[in-house]
């Protein structure tokens, strides 16, 4: 009878440890800020349109999911599609969050910034000089 109690105690302790191990996890967040997402032609007129934000989420088991070039293009295209006439995003901020729960990984990438349009041609410097009273 004593060995049965001893075995049941060990089973309970091992069960609690397994449950704790399975439910433990952590989350890491890191990011970067850039200048722009695409090349702006010299002497082009760049006009901000408005704030945009897009997000993608990927999951994986045993190993964290990889971010591919296609994922980044999808993130940028989603952001540009929010504003009509947007050519690129200026001052983009890309935040990446990785959450782990034992063998489950979730990666979330968020792009936020200002969508801008670009008109290729001569810059309108005289209008800007008058606007700023220079």
pLDDT tens digits for range 80-102: 999 988 888 988 899 999 988 87
Q: Tell me what pLDDT residue 57 has.
A: 95
- The predicted model scores a pTM of 0.68
Residue 70 has what pLDDT?
92
The rounded radius of gyration (Å) of the Cα atoms in the chain is: 25
Output the pLDDT for position 124: 61
Residues 6 or more apart whose CB falls under 8 angstroms from that of 117 comprise 46, 47, 49, 85, 86, 87
């Amino acid at each position: 009878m004593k060995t049965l109690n001893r075995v049941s105690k060990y089973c309970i302790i091992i069960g609690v440890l397994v449950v704790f191990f399975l439910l433990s996890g952590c989350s890491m967040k890191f990011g970067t800020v850039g200048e722009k997402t695409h090349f702006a032609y010299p002497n082009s007129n760049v006009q901000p349109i408005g704030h945009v934000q897009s997000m993608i989420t990927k999951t994986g088991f045993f190993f964290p999911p990889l971010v591919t070039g296609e994922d980044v293009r999808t993130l940028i295209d989603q952001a540009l599609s929010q504003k009509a006439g947007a050519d690129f995003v200026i001052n983009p901020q890309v935040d990446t969050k990785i959450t782990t729960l034992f063998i489950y990984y979730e990666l979330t990438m968020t792009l936020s910034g200002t969508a801008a349009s670009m008109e290729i041609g001569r810059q309108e410097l005289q209008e800007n000089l008058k606007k700023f009273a220079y």
